[in-house]
Amino acid sequence: MPHEVVTFGEAMVRLSPAGFRRLEQTRALELFVGGAELNTAVGLARLGHSTAWVSRLTRNPLGRLIANHAREAGVNTEHVLWTDSDRVGVYFLEFGAAPRASSVLYDRKDSAIANIRPGMVNWSTVFSGAKWFHVTGITPALSSTAAEATREALKAARTAGLQTSIDLNYRAKLWSPADAGRWMTEFMQYCDVLITTEEDVERVFGIEGVDYEDLAAQVAKRFSLSVVAITLRENPLVWKNSWTAIAHQNGKVFRTRTYEVEIVDRLGAGDSFAAGLIHGLLEGDVQRGLDFGVAASALKHSIPGDFDWITREEVENLLMGPGLRISR
Amino acid sequence: MPHEVVTFGEAMVRLSPAGFRRLEQTRALELFVGGAELNTAVGLARLGHSTAWVSRLTRNPLGRLIANHAREAGVNTEHVLWTDSDRVGVYFLEFGAAPRASSVLYDRKDSAIANIRPGMVNWSTVFSGAKWFHVTGITPALSSTAAEATREALKAARTAGLQTSIDLNYRAKLWSPADAGRWMTEFMQYCDVLITTEEDVERVFGIEGVDYEDLAAQVAKRFSLSVVAITLRENPLVWKNSWTAIAHQNGKVFRTRTYEVEIVDRLGAGDSFAAGLIHGLLEGDVQRGLDFGVAASALKHSIPGDFDWITREEVENLLMGPGLRISR
Amino acid sequence: MPHEVVTFGEAMVRLSPAGFRRLEQTRALELFVGGAELNTAVGLARLGHSTAWVSRLTRNPLGRLIANHAREAGVNTEHVLWTDSDRVGVYFLEFGAAPRASSVLYDRKDSAIANIRPGMVNWSTVFSGAKWFHVTGITPALSSTAAEATREALKAARTAGLQTSIDLNYRAKLWSPADAGRWMTEFMQYCDVLITTEEDVERVFGIEGVDYEDLAAQVAKRFSLSVVAITLRENPLVWKNSWTAIAHQNGKVFRTRTYEVEIVDRLGAGDSFAAGLIHGLLEGDVQRGLDFGVAASALKHSIPGDFDWITREEVENLLMGPGLRISR
Amino acid sequence: MPHEVVTFGEAMVRLSPAGFRRLEQTRALELFVGGAELNTAVGLARLGHSTAWVSRLTRNPLGRLIANHAREAGVNTEHVLWTDSDRVGVYFLEFGAAPRASSVLYDRKDSAIANIRPGMVNWSTVFSGAKWFHVTGITPALSSTAAEATREALKAARTAGLQTSIDLNYRAKLWSPADAGRWMTEFMQYCDVLITTEEDVERVFGIEGVDYEDLAAQVAKRFSLSVVAITLRENPLVWKNSWTAIAHQNGKVFRTRTYEVEIVDRLGAGDSFAAGLIHGLLEGDVQRGLDFGVAASALKHSIPGDFDWITREEVENLLMGPGLRISR
Amino acid sequence: MPHEVVTFGEAMVRLSPAGFRRLEQTRALELFVGGAELNTAVGLARLGHSTAWVSRLTRNPLGRLIANHAREAGVNTEHVLWTDSDRVGVYFLEFGAAPRASSVLYDRKDSAIANIRPGMVNWSTVFSGAKWFHVTGITPALSSTAAEATREALKAARTAGLQTSIDLNYRAKLWSPADAGRWMTEFMQYCDVLITTEEDVERVFGIEGVDYEDLAAQVAKRFSLSVVAITLRENPLVWKNSWTAIAHQNGKVFRTRTYEVEIVDRLGAGDSFAAGLIHGLLEGDVQRGLDFGVAASALKHSIPGDFDWITREEVENLLMGPGLRISR
Amino acid sequence: MPHEVVTFGEAMVRLSPAGFRRLEQTRALELFVGGAELNTAVGLARLGHSTAWVSRLTRNPLGRLIANHAREAGVNTEHVLWTDSDRVGVYFLEFGAAPRASSVLYDRKDSAIANIRPGMVNWSTVFSGAKWFHVTGITPALSSTAAEATREALKAARTAGLQTSIDLNYRAKLWSPADAGRWMTEFMQYCDVLITTEEDVERVFGIEGVDYEDLAAQVAKRFSLSVVAITLRENPLVWKNSWTAIAHQNGKVFRTRTYEVEIVDRLGAGDSFAAGLIHGLLEGDVQRGLDFGVAASALKHSIPGDFDWITREEVENLLMGPGLRISR
């Protein structure tokens, strides 16, 4: 059965203390599953799209747990590769409060997906009947073979006639700006839609703009991209931010509402934005994609875990502007 | 032993995920008990009044649990009717964060109290020695027989010489504005004190005012009410509101302090206001009732569950204006 | 995509206090999802079979939660019917300790599946390519229309050439022995494999035997069944039982090992037995089915919730007899 | 409103780690309320008797919490004395597993009830209309003034025509056998029913018997008691005991069933036995009291906390001998 | 092995309900350990200093628990005195939300440290090789013998050539302003560094200033202090404050950044400030002490429990001004 | 300051679901710290010995957490090596119930201690003033450099005049029997006391005996060991075992009581036995060591986590044979 959207990347077991405890002092951890491309797949599934997530997992309880969580959220896992070797990546998350930022401790080295190599995935089967392929800059950052596998996937997606989106998602703990710049520049030739932040564009591509609009225009032009979307966060505090995004298409800039978000958990917000944007673009409407992306990701800030447990109806209600009264 | 105040209505088992989880993702639920008239009874018991709550409950662990919680909070349950049929209502509550409002999922159909009929409660016994009867617009909304039983109770209260208060409490999920308007209009003849919001007055009675004061005056006049109180919430965010109320009595408007409330749980705040207002009116002082009602309900926002676990002393301390230092 | 096995029935939200608390005293509930036919579907999915579960759910967070849990455990939900009306059934479970038995409080009336009617499910589509259909005596007990829908399903399964199994699963809280006897007797004509207990056979069919083997033989003969399996529990205590089963096929009795089980949660054990039995029968081997069924369900007793979170490899290891040492 | 039964003693906040943790290693504590005489009052309330508990509590959140819990369980607290001085007793409980016994760390010195003095309670009001007074050897052990207050209460109960029961309940951490012997011997003149264990009789009264029956007979004779009941526990392990009791009345010995109990929490079991025994004696039937007492207290072992959250119907069902199947 | 810093005082078991529950309604308590001087010792240990805490504890699980927590956080406990008598102090903490302040219920009477007397601690051994001694106004407030032991310690510290700091820490629940004033005035002769708030200076010493700087100058002059530091909190709300401090040294006023703090738990913030200040002063740099003190204590507000689980590197990063982005 | 006992090995973060959940289904994990040699160090510290644990840890929150837990339990960590590279080992633990054994999932590859090399630890400093060195077969199994470092440590211990003990602790997931046999055989020349099980002796050394005594005698003879101790577990069930040990010294066999243990958590039981045995041997008394070892480790089974949170007094009380009554 073909899947409308395919994403490709790592998902990890995420472990975080409750009640803003530091890791050093906690005696218990809450468990979620997260990973940029899986998060976006979940976002799309929640908005009603048939979605498959491609990855590589170790055949043990943690690997199965990750696949279980993906399926629970409506994402197909039939194309996941299973191995008896390697391990499942884990990350530890501490929630902060101003002036202490939230922080992440990765323990993801030598994971099954980091050891993926070109040829392992049968992309032509995976992409059969699909419309969209999405990946982020994290997948190629995992290892050089993962970068090669990402290139293979992007090429195959082009060949199969899919639209493609890439979230730049630069991770300083995984690779250098130089390495990122080299690989991501190469990938731009296979990319229709780029999703990023001002900061990442500067770090990865070395491009600076006089403002967001200018930056998006420069990037779109340099890489001949169809759409460039930039998310904008203002964060004077940890528990409350303002959040919006812009999009650039064919020389035109699109804007949407800015949300004041009370923050329960901001991880996965960018991935949720990608899901909403792709949702709109699948309907051929960048303004709708931007509206949906920002609204869905604004809601994501209120939900624990990396996944955006919203419904399409809730996003549409928010776009129509209901208030904060309790419905009863 | 007579009870100074009597309230009449439904209480439900309230189930809510911790940590702002959505219902879909939770694996555990916190359990509280709540219901508008029981909440007000609790508020009055906490302020030192002998209070009885009248309802109908199924004789099973959930029914007993509701009665246990009422008694724990100091409310007498000797007049509760017990049945082996029907069920205990449940509601599921999701706590939100801007831009996601908190939301309620009712599962209250066919509850024992919804199946109450006139003649089941011996109101003359219940009201013997009592001074005040309180009910809200939720009880008659449960079913037509519940509406009839509410009318019976109000008439009996009048006959027995009690003062009566009604909180309009319109619930769109239970009945239409037209039905509400018809029944509530009829009930106004038995009502001394009306507690409501601007929005509910408009939806139920179709009355609009140039401002709150005007609205209260119109309502008081149309229904010949002794006191009309209107609570005022400004909620730009989910976690912080400003909260106050006004009261109208004999053509005069009373005001009190506006509180900035950091919100742990706003359910039951209106019911707590009613308790404080009745507390003051029992002493014959509408200003004191307004002060107490707003202070008690401001405190309610900081307390989990529907009940207002405060003491009279704490309300009085707040009215005297102490700050937010930790007392030690 | 065809599913090898299809099951049909209700699933409920299951809420239970931790730490052996009584419902009356608890302030929190653990949430699981369970229902006999879903549990069996999960058991089969865990053993490697492609499985779909057919039901009817209300389109709200609780309905979605049930579908999420089914998918998480590997069960397909594409044939679930969704409705905006009715409700999601809930059951409350208290865990006991001798001499207090565990107890269940159902709140399942008026659920979406109880209101199912013949014609709602397109069984020919559902059964396309499938090999096995499984249902229990709970589904027809939900309502007369649900009983009719069960008959429709069984007939359609026969027409489509599937093998069918029925677990008698008599529920005294749902219907009388007479009603159960009438419907179940009718269903036997569409049934290949009957799974039950000595007690249920007597209550539903009025059949008594000199021993288990005789009972199975009588039932097999009366209804011309291919296989009759009877589970045997000895429970002098709540926390430890002995557990086994026998099967009767073509006049021959099959036996397997008896397990001493330390009981964490016995709900769903019978459903897990059904899954293991069907697993073996799909391979045409009743002894293997009996072995797998009893081993899988013995393991189920050690796992919280209704689902049997085991792997096929774990069952096979248990059949090969490893001890209770910690593997490290 | 008169109360059928009155009990008098201390209740404490009970704090225990979950999951068999030692106090030293825990980071959280579960909170219950318990105290021998309150536990018995709860047991009687659950069996349907109107019951009041007399004590002295400090007017702070912990004192109110204790009264709340008493009321929640159906016990009247109107005769509790409130003071602004002193403190609320606390005890810490570690649950064990063989070969580690459960252990209790008291922090009850200087509690409000320990500082009670004769004259503080208006016993004639308390006992007006009552039929039974119950106290244990813990109350007089708290302080010499508490012992005097206990004597005062017993005398007043006699004067008011109540029947009285005393549970010997020797606590080595509170007083010496000599002190206990002196006071308890004096109290026997006001006592109709004595509840105890073989070990306590020997430690407090220095009486040894050839067997339980002989012991009970000796005690009954020496103190001219109407009924002497002795509970019998065999505890080779912490998680499973056998449990029963005998009673002696007018030279005749009464016996009842012995229960194998799987132990969740045995604290309060003796107090629950007292409740069941008094329940039967109020009906004038020592055999029924013994049956009820042992059955209710056998159930108590399965329930967390000091209170016996059972219903009269559950005890009666157990007496009729149902098994350990899950009712559904 | 000598310890660079020594502190002296009480630590208690701290018990608090989760989720902003009131004590009356909670069924569980979170357990931390805290006490002003221990908190400061922890703060210094976390910043890299060898630190010992002197106290007196009862030899039971709670006493050991307190020592365990101190050691866990890197504080040496070899000089703690152990006794079989007395008790371990406990305090109950309710977290608030505007307009309800957090509140503390002490149950610390008759603790082992309150019963300390001069001569019990061998101060010359304790201070051998040490550089700094710190105590607060809480220790002498515990009892008159504790006040005498505090004087003994201060004298011994002077004799041994240590620098000394005192945090005024007035506790109205422990002693009167007059008693505090008398003892603290006497102690000033042994004090190099005073840490306090504007309010406490006025209550204890009766000194008022035209502004903070003036106040600090007056105090420094009157008592010939080397350094006077004053912490400044503005708290319009419970969940967000602004926080800073000033220091006065040799007629010069030092200032540092003001932090907007989102408050998880403000207990121990002042103690953490003391640790940072002493840390800087040990390096001879009052500006660095002020910067470190305010930054460390700003971070403390974000951490549950009384201890400041930060690292020196985190404080230094904050001083260099990083934002609130998640590092990944 | 010299430490009486030194141990050397890995400690990991241990993560386990509560309530017997499988890893796949859990949404939370309880966190403990454990590792064979650290567990034994804790056991010795709890029995009153000054003990240091040598290891290598990554300088991050998880590494600090491990050191914190060691210190909390009274173990010195000053000789731990800290590195910015590598990772902290983690293991996941599922608690079972018959017929499902508990199981462990290691994620310990590439930990800091696995990358230890000879020369990193200054053993002559570490052993200065010490009396005993303890290590297990896990440390050399971590890597070949770790095996070399273990050899270095054993040689240095011999040189420094310490007594040495080795627990064979064969881990099939870490190395082959052949590798274990080769290294452990080499280590025997530096070993005074060998602790093991019948099964491990056979797997590692290929030695079989006609009974335990014979086996111990053979091993003692082959390797010229002073003491050989063998622990004996009979485990028909997961929740209850019988547990004892024997010791062989100079051709004589020592025995002690067999305990029926109700099992909360058996991990670390063997390590606790080692601690008790060493405790006795430090006093020169193998019988006392055997008694203490078996009693301490019997108690360990009742305590969650790898550490044996008992006191020396509790072990001595158990040796004197008190029952399972609650002390109060």
F206-258 residue pLDDT tens: 999 999 999 999 999 999 999 999 999 998 899 999 999 999 999 999 999 99
Give CA separation, A141 vs A13, A167, A202, B264, C182, in Å.
18, 13, 17, 42, 65
A85-128 residue pLDDT tens: 999 999 999 999 999 999 999 999 999 999 999 999 999 999 99
Beta-carbon-side half-sphere exposure of residue D133 (alpha carbons within 13 Å): 28
Report the chain E residue with the minimal C-alpha distance to residue F69: E72
Give, in degrees to the nearest 5, the angle at Cα F228 between F226 and F233: 165
Decide if pLDDT at F327 tops 80. Answer: no
Terminal-residue alpha carbon distance, chain A: 40
Label residue F321 by pLDDT band (50, 70, 90): confident
D104-145 residue pLDDT tens: 999 999 999 999 999 999 999 999 999 999 999 999 999 999
- The residue whose two tokens read 């003879």 is F221
Q: Is D307 on the interface with C (CB under 8 A)?
A: yes
DSSP B93-125: EE--BTTB--EEEEE-TTBTTTT--TTSS-HHH
Query: Inter-axis angle of helices F144-159 and F177-188, to 10 degrees?
Result: 10
DSSP F169-205: ---TTTS-HHHHHHHHHHHHTT-SEEEE-HHHIIIII
Give CA separation, F52 vs E279, F9, F49, F191, in Å.
28, 11, 10, 19
Cβ <8 Å between C73 and A68: yes
Label residue E181 by pLDDT band (50, 70, 90): very high
- The pLDDT of residue E25: 98
Q: Which two tokens stand for residue F220?
A: 């003692």
Which one of C27, C65, C88 has the shortest CB-CB distance to B30? Answer: C27
Spatial separation of the C-alpha atoms in residues F116 and F121, rounded to whole Å: 9
Asked if E295 and E318 count as a contact pair (C-beta separation under 8 A), the reply is yes
Beta-carbon-side half-sphere exposure of residue B249 (alpha carbons within 13 Å): 19
Q: Which of F167, F200, F265, F271 is catalytic?
A: F271
Q: Which two tokens stand for residue D81?
A: 């004395």
- The pLDDT of residue F236: 83
Cβ <8 Å between A29 and F26: no
Q: Is C28 on the interface with B (CB under 8 A)?
A: yes
Residue-level length of chain F: 328
Q: Mean pLDDT of residues grouped by 10 in chain C (328 residues)?
A: 93 98 98 98 98 98 98 98 98 97 96 98 98 98 98 98 98 96 98 97 95 95 98 93 97 96 98 98 96 98 98 96 73
- Tell which of C21, C265, C324, C327 to mutate to test the F interface (max F CBs under 10 Å): C324
> With contacts defined as CB-CB under 8 Å, which chain D residues touch C238?
262, 324
- The residue whose two tokens read 């202070």 is B295
Query: Inter-axis angle of helices B61-72 and D61-72, to 10 degrees?
Result: 150
B162-183 residue pLDDT tens: 999 999 999 999 999 999 999 9
Q: Please, which residues have CB within 8 angstroms of residue D51's CB and are 6 or more apart in sequence? A: D3, D4, D5, D6, D7, D41, D42, D44, D45, D74, D75, D76
Label residue F323 by pLDDT band (50, 70, 90): confident
Asked if F272 and F309 count as a contact pair (C-beta separation under 8 A), the reply is no
Give, in degrees to the nearest 5, the angle at Cα D275 between D274 and D277: 65
Spatial separation of the C-alpha atoms in residues E153 and E158, rounded to whole Å: 9
Give, in degrees to the nearest 5, the angle at Cα B28 between C25 and A313: 130
- The pLDDT of residue F325: 75
- The pLDDT of residue A323: 73
Report the chain C residue with the minimal C-alpha distance to residue D309: C22
- The pLDDT of residue A322: 64
Q: How many helices (H) and strands (E) does chain D have?
A: 11, 15
H or E element in which residue C13 lies: strand C12-16
β-strands C12-16, C28-34: how paired? antiparallel
Which one of D25, D99, D104 has the shortest CB-CB distance to F298? Answer: D99
> With contacts defined as CB-CB under 8 Å, which chain A residues touch B99?
259-261, 295, 298-299, 302, 318, 324
Spatial separation of the C-alpha atoms in residues C147 and C118, rounded to whole Å: 9
- The pLDDT of residue D68: 98
Closest approach of F233 to chain A, Cα-based (Å)? 28
Q: Which two tokens stand for residue E235?
A: 């708290």
Q: Which two tokens stand for residue B90?
A: 């449940």
Cβ <8 Å between D72 and B71: yes
- The pLDDT of residue D302: 98
Report the chain D residue with the minimal C-alpha distance to residue B69: D72
Q: Is F20 on the interface with C (CB under 8 A)?
A: yes
Spatial separation of the C-alpha atoms in residues B198 and B201, rounded to whole Å: 5
> With contacts defined as CB-CB under 8 Å, which chain D residues touch B73?
68
Q: Is C29 on the interface with B (CB under 8 A)?
A: yes
Give CA separation, F250 vs F197, F213, F274, in Å.
19, 12, 19
Interface of F with E in 40-69 (CB under 8 A): 68-69
Spatial separation of the C-alpha atoms in residues C263 and A15, rounded to whole Å: 29
Q: Which of C271, C291, C306, C308 is catalytic?
A: C271
Asked if F112 and F85 count as a contact pair (C-beta separation under 8 A), the reply is yes
Closest approach of F102 to chain C, Cα-based (Å)? 5
Asked if F113 and F9 count as a contact pair (C-beta separation under 8 A), the reply is yes
Handedness of CA E135, E138, E142, E148 (dihedral sign): positive
Q: Which of A271, A291, A306, A308 is catalytic?
A: A271
Decide if pLDDT at D327 tops 90. Answer: no
Cβ <8 Å between C29 and B27: no
Q: Is D104 on the interface with F (CB under 8 A)?
A: yes
Q: Cβ–Cβ contacts within 10 Å for residue A173, how many?
A: 11
Is residue F271 flagged as an active site residue?
Answer: yes
- Tell which of D107, D110, D115, D306 to mutate to test the E interface (max E CBs under 10 Å): D107
Query: Inter-axis angle of helices C177-187 and C144-159, to 10 degrees?
Result: 20
> With contacts defined as CB-CB under 8 Å, which chain E residues touch B309?
22, 24-25
Task: For chain B, list residues with pLDDT below 70.
Answer: 1, 322, 328
Q: Which tops the pLDDT comparison, F322 or E289?
A: E289
Q: Which two tokens stand for residue A265?
A: 């958990």
Q: Cis (ω within 30 of 0) for the bond into F99?
A: yes
Decide if pLDDT at A185 tops 90. Answer: yes
- Averaged pLDDT, F40-69: 98
Per DSSP (E only), the strands in E39-150 are 51-54, 56-58, 81-83, 90-94, 103-107, 132-136
Q: Which tops the pLDDT comparison, A314 or D1?
A: A314
| SS3 state of residue D322 | coil
- The pLDDT of residue A1: 67
- The pLDDT of residue B322: 64
Decide if pLDDT at E328 tops 80. Answer: no
- The residue whose two tokens read 């109205």 is E172
E146-171 residue pLDDT tens: 999 999 999 999 999 999 999 999 99
Instruction: Return the partners of chain C (3 or more C-beta pairs < 8 Å).
Output: A, B, D, F
Cβ <8 Å between F98 and C302: yes
Q: Is A292 on the interface with B (CB under 8 A)?
A: no
- Tell which of C14, C259, C292, C302 to mutate to test the F interface (max F CBs under 10 Å): C302
Q: Which of D86, D200, D271, D308 is catalytic?
A: D271
- Tell which of B30, B84, B87, B110 to mutate to test the C interface (max C CBs under 10 Å): B87
- The residue whose two tokens read 């991050």 is F60
Closest approach of E26 to chain D, Cα-based (Å)? 8
Cβ <8 Å between A101 and E303: no
- The pLDDT of residue E1: 67
Q: Which residues pair with B160 in a beta bridge?
A: none
Decide if pLDDT at A204 tops 90. Answer: yes
- The pLDDT of residue B236: 82
